[in-house]
Amino acid sequence: MIETNQEVKSLQMPENVSLWLGDGYDSETREHIRDLIAQNNIEELIDCFYQNLEFGTGGLRGIMGVGTNRMNKYTVGMATQGLANYLKQSFANLPQIKVAIAHDCRNNSEAFSKIVADIFAANGFKVYLFDALRPTPELSFAIRMLGCQSGVMVTASHNPKEYNGYKAYWSDGAQVTAPHDKNIIAEVNKITDLSQVKFTGGSGAVEIIGKDVDEAYLSGIEGLLKLSPEAMERHKDAKIVYTPLHGCGVKMAPAMLRRMGFTSIIHVPEQDVNDGNFPTVHSPNPEEPAALKMAVDKALATDAELVLATDPDADRIALAVRDKKGDFFILNGNQTNSIFTYYLLLRWKELGKLQGKEYIIKTIVTTNLIADIAEAFGVEWYTCYTGFKYIAEIVRRYEGKKTCIGGGEESFGFNVGELVRDKDAIVSCGLAAEIMAWAKEQGLSMFDLLLDIYKKFGYYKERQISITKKGKEGLEAIRQMMCDFRAAPPKSLAGSDVKEIYDYQTLEMKDVKSGLTKPIDQPSTSNVLQYVTEDGSIVSVRPSGTEPKIKFYFGVRESLSDTAEFDSVTRALDKKIDAIAAELKLC
């Protein structure tokens, strides 16, 4: 039996393994560690213990299991105590700190949410805990509605079933950003023993919330839509297939569609079942076409016009629309964002709502088509880092001075207005259905609308390639790849010279020909590289903040003089992206 630091060191395992074999941890945890030792599974032990989970772009997230690098009740407890300590420092002037907590459908999500609630209560906080699973955007809404100083959403978003995590929110309903994220990590790192975590006791109270917040949330986001009520009334019986992919959009998304007046909402019964094992899909990620197969099949069988899918915590949305042949075409995140942005700006203009102080937001890896659309309507646009917390930062900066119409990112996230401070698949479902009805009123399908946008502004084609590198060695490999790209950037891509290199880690843009540099206007640094060629092609490289991946984003553009040329231009642009990927040795 391995019990001492000396014995652990002799096996070349992380020293903190022995700590987890102590009496402070439950018998199940200790037994699992002993089994790994007995199996001489040093590789797994190192991966479980070589680092502490940290807050990234999506908060705390990791594979569930034992160890400091896993999601379990102890790492959740330590992180929550660290957050609680930081909240006490930040809001020392308040008589009582208030927090809201929600969870998704994942395995252990409900249990983790109760642990989080108990720890906050033991620290003397007033805790609002949802009575059952709820969408992430509703948690964001609840924080502001209830006047909370913070909130936690227990979720791993669209990650595989082995993962869980939580997103930490600040008083404005947005996920924590600098300096709060780093300060929270510092507080968590100060907790070196479980005795420092207040799992129970204290003077706080836990209040269960539910229906009242649901009604306020749905009513609030409904008020951001209905820009074309006559069209929606005339086409209210259009058939819409919706799937929550086993997640927590199962009640709220259909409820939103009904509030919008739509009456023919078709479910995929097998995927309405909340199940953290996601039994009907390989991955519950709406970015992956395979996740939508059952919904598309249902739409074909029922002659539906639109397919909507939300991820497990209902902040991301995927759309499938009928193409010219009547088949279903799955929109990528850039296409969805472009359609949403175009419709909102067009209707705001037609309704006389544009007063000169409105703006939209995109991330640095989201299609530049959105910027072109905004400029065509005379609307300001801002760009920020990947992650909706950075979009929320811009909303906070201009709150009361300008009006945010909407914002989105290529990874299937969008939000309307300023009510919710995170991406919101529930309001996006309502918006998508509204656009479908408006397009029908114009004699168009949503696919026709997309082609018209391309014809007017140019056909922007994007693709993402992700390379997975798991574990400690994978993390080091990703770091080395970023170093290599900085040391030896490509000189040309698909026959076009690289003219500009944007390094968001140094916040410098380099003009390749002159060698001159200019500062990049961003409030903080980020480990992102971006190459822009003479013909306007863009390649962005960044490590994921929530997954063991390095991501490459490709953007190319060509004119589309006739919508009948869509297929041929698509092939040409795909070929160009293939060539760039090959030059970067990605395929």
Give the residue numbers annotated as catalytic, written as ranges.
Answer: 157
Rounded to the nearest 5°, which phi and psi values hold at 461?
A: -120, 125
Rg of the chain taking only CA atoms, in angstroms: 24
Amino acid at 431: L
Tokens coding 387: 């992650």
- Residue partners of 47: CB distance under 8 A and separation at least 6: 67, 69, 470, 471, 472
Tell me the residue ranges of DSSP E strands in 13-97. Answer: 60-63
Q: State how far the Cα of 103 lies from the Cα of 209, in Å rounded to an integer.
A: 13
Q: State how far the Cα of 301 lies from the Cα of 43, in Å rounded to an integer.
A: 48
Amino acid at 336: T
Tokens coding 86: 């930081």
Q: β-strand 98-103 against 126-130: which pairing, if any?
A: parallel
Q: β-strand 240-243 against 205-209: which pairing, if any?
A: unpaired
Q: State how far the Cα of 485 lies from the Cα of 561, in Å rounded to an integer.
A: 36
Tell me the residue ranges of DSSP E strands in 263-421. Answer: 265-267, 306-310, 317-322, 328-330, 358-363, 380-384, 403-409, 413-416
- Residue partners of 542: CB distance under 8 A and separation at least 6: 365, 386, 526, 527, 528, 529, 550, 551, 553
**Can you tell me which residue has the tokens 């971006």?**
530
